[in-house]
Structure 1
């Protein structure tokens, strides 16, 4: 029994270390490269305005470079969001799930009943599972609507993503959700996928909020990730529960 607990704690540390590394990369991209690209774009716009009107070709070329630079900046922002979304670190799971629903190719009916912040590992696991599930819906479900529900009840986060598509999905057949199983189990949670043919697909995840082991400290996370301990994240004041 002791060895199983030690294994679970070890897996939890590895997951936390990976999340810390993701946050650090996203922060470095946002505070470094992205800001430099934004500054360059502004300088290009200033240079474009300074070009005499009769030099039409030069103004056109500068405008094109500025447009391309903005496109590269947007692509880099998408990449950094995929590494670790800033909205998750800054605002928590509720606004992060809203952002996922807004960006989803398939319209999403969202119902979120979460007040304040949850442990960072819980928020990260729920976010990546929801993201992967919605990606699978868009790719495979052939449905017009997806439904996502998240609620904290009796110390456990319950998350479900379902669609009313064709069903028949085979867990493990190209589904990135299988790769998230270790993350869920490291947090002593459970994940299930139900996909009967003709009845859509449902992904259910239960993550016990109180089960995040206190031994996974900031110092250990930073050391395991090969860097400094993570910065403190400002917590939202609890807000009234209600539909997302």
Structure 2
């Protein structure tokens, strides 16, 4: 497993702007998309609320007859359709990526099975709840957004159109106060300037107010129209199970390849050499002795290869003495000096202990091959219910989980047991890789 060093992150460099974000916000596409989302929310929420309440109420009211069940199922199915539309709208206007909820689970085919699946689906009822809750929020956000936007641009552009009042309205400007004896108009240059300044403040504040309003919409869409936590967790576990199976299969193939290309081939050659030595034993004892001596060297090499293979499967020192001794042993085989510090009061379960060992082992192996470092350090400690691992080196840096397959594969292995891998490796170094594993005891 190889970790690529000395390569860039491949991250997008943020575009530099001359104007600060506060002044750019009213003219950015993001603001207009969010404003469009708020404006569309009112008519859509009215339609959805009317449909959801009417169909579900009608269905519940008709439950005394068989007609109520298909009506209720049709109403909930329509709410699911509205939910799909709302996810698409949020994706297009709010840049909110929400995964599709779990599909209907039907053990049998047919209309009756479909009705039962719709009625038992949590997604159906969450979509209905979204239709009920979204209307009052859509009314509130529509009123706030439209008023702030209209007031801001009206006042900001007041110097451009105030002349309409004396020309066509018979008054000096916008009237702030008036009774039978007093009238106050915004008609002199100072008042017009202050009006435009107030409009500028409203205009600059509107994008942030609209963004705050759409944050609630994001929460509603994500929480009610996305997959449930249980369904998400099931998908994660299924993915992790696939990763574990693939990793185990890859390890088995590696062991088979190492046995076939290494120890097995050497033992076959050893058997042939001993057969030849047996034939020459009577006619040429000295040659037979030399062949036996060569075969003895092959036996030692084969034994060393088998020991290395066994260590790669699960080192005996890890089982007998724990992480401290095992990591010290693997650090001694690294090509750069490695400082190992293990601060653990106890031992986790063998599975977590093994993953921690192989994580550090692979990271140190990659340091030897790619980092061009002159020093490395390994720290292991426990924080509450998490086992923390940190490997540091002073090499060239540039390690990235998206480049090559080493760190990406290691990330998948850790993720399969609810672990996390964090890479901090700027180009030029140093590199700091931190791994978190769940602390589990027998």
| TM-score, scaled relative to structure 1 | 0.66
State the 1:174 CA deviation.
2.7
In structure 2, what is the equivalent of residue 85 of structure 1? 315
Kindly indicate whether the alpha-carbon contact (under 8 Å) linking 1:193 and 1:202 is maintained by their aligned counterparts in 2. Answer: yes
Matches within 5 A, 1:83-162: 83-162=313-392
Alignment deviations for residues 99-143 of structure 1 (CA, whole Å, 9 cap, x no partner): 211121222111111233212221122112111111111111111
In structure 2, what is the equivalent of residue 232 of structure 1? none
Once the two structures are overlaid, the 10-residue window that deviates more, 81-90 or 193-202, is 81-90
Secondary structure at 1:177 match in 2: helix
In structure 2, what is the equivalent of residue 167 of structure 1? 397
Unaligned runs of 5+ in 1: 213-234, 236-244
Q: C-alpha distance in 1, partners of 2:361/2:419? A: 18
| Pair 1:15–1:169, CA change in 2 (3 A) | closer
In structure 2, what is the equivalent of residue 188 of structure 1? 418
Tell which structure's C-alpha radius of gyration is larger.
2
Q: C-alpha distance in 1, partners of 2:321/2:243? A: 21
Q: C-alpha distance in 1, partners of 2:243/2:403? A: 24
Matches within 5 A, 1:205-224: 205-210=435-440
Kindly indicate whether the alpha-carbon contact (under 8 Å) linking 1:126 and 1:159 is maintained by their aligned counterparts in 2. Answer: yes
Once the two structures are overlaid, the 10-residue window that deviates more, 2-11 or 74-83, is 2-11
Q: How many residues align?
A: 195
Bigger RCO of structures 1 and 2 (CA < 8 A, at least 6 apart)? 1
Secondary structure at 2:429 match in 1: coil
1:4 aligns with 2:232: yes
Secondary structure at 1:196 match in 2: coil
Q: C-alpha distance in 2, partners of 1:113/1:55? A: 60
State the 1:187 CA deviation.
1.9
What is the Cα-based RMSD across aligned positions, in Å?
3.5
1:197 aligns with 2:427: yes
Unaligned runs of 5+ in 2: 1-228
Secondary structure at 1:112 match in 2: strand
Alignment deviations for residues 22-44 of structure 1 (CA, whole Å, 9 cap, x no partner): 79x98xx9xxx99xx8xx99xx9
Once the two structures are overlaid, the 10-residue window that deviates more, 119-128 or 90-99, is 90-99
In structure 1, what is the equivalent of residue 168 of structure 2? none
In structure 1, what is the equivalent of residue 303 of structure 2? 73
Secondary structure at 1:202 match in 2: strand
Secondary structure at 1:168 match in 2: coil
| TM-score, scaled relative to structure 2 | 0.38
Alignment deviations for residues 149-180 of structure 1 (CA, whole Å, 9 cap, x no partner): 10112121110001011112232323522102
Q: C-alpha distance in 2, partners of 1:120/1:15? A: 19
Secondary structure at 1:199 match in 2: coil
Higher helix proportion = 2
